[in-house]
Structure 1
Amino acid sequence: MKSLIAISAILVLSTSSFATADGSTDPVHGKMIQANEQAMRELAAARGKNPPEVTHYRYGTKLDIDKVINVTSTKKNCNVMPAQMTYEDSSGELNILEYRVAGINCQNQN
């Protein structure tokens, strides 16, 4: 019985961490992230390329950035929020890097 409770707790905790990975718990930024991913899939299709995979940035991630295509806006508020950068690597493939960033709309804040 204890093992069943432990397994249930692990599943609940791991599910909640996946839910926040794409910004879906924040309606404004979740929609922005989803719209960016859809636009980049359409761009890839128009260019005859594979749809880009989303990579979540971790400290020390090695990046091969040849050309930045798009960066999502951080002008909506001053909080830490998810952001995405779409880029072409040196082989011409599209990639999406998702990371956390502080917003730049920090009026009346020290």
Structure 2
Amino acid sequence: MSTWVAVLVASAVAYALKLAGYVVPPRVLGNPRATTVTTMLPAALLASLVVLQTFSTGTHLVLDARAAGLVVAILALLLRAPFIVVVVLAAVTAALLRLAGWH
């Protein structure tokens, strides 16, 4: 499959999903289960992206400086540090560990 075919198929799927939002009856969207899922979905997607970016390289699982940065970020969040401080601490931790040779 060429890149352009993949882009066109993904575009068609995205358009169909947008269109489905207008076609689905309001009673389905107002369902408590649907509301719960749509409320939690962004957090679940973000968590999956963080896990993939932290613990994978290509098709391999790895444990490297990114994981240590994530641990430092979690500790900073538990200590109620401001968000920018959390990001800087995680980045500095990963950078220092990579500088020390732990890839």
> Is the TM-score greater than 0.5?
no
Q: TM-score, normalised by structure 1?
A: 0.31
Higher relative contact order (CA 8 A, sep 6+): 1
Structure whose alpha-carbon radius of gyration is higher: 2
